Amino acid sequence: MTTVFKEGFEAQCQSLGFAGAAVYVAHPVQNRTTAELRQLADESFEEILGMIAAK
């Protein structure tokens, strides 16, 4: 999710007693090109795999 939602996500996790995992990318994403979105995904891939493997 984008960085603008980080505080809300963390507050929601705390209120639900849920240890949620998230990878943050720069906000906004809606006006990015396909190439830019792929770049964000590529940059986040290792972090996402690490979170999956840690569970």
Using pLDDT thresholds of 50, 70 and 90, give the confidence band for residue 54. confident
16: buried, middle or exposed (CB in 10 Å: 19+, 13-18, 0-12)? exposed
Q: Is 49 in contact with 26 (CB distance < 8 Å)?
A: no
Rounded mean pLDDT, 9-24: 95
Q: Look at residue 55 in the predicted model and tell me its pLDDT.
A: 64
Tens-digit pLDDT profile for residues 17-52: 999 999 999 999 999 999 999 999 999 999 999 999
Tokens of 48: 């996402």
| Prediction pTM value | 0.79
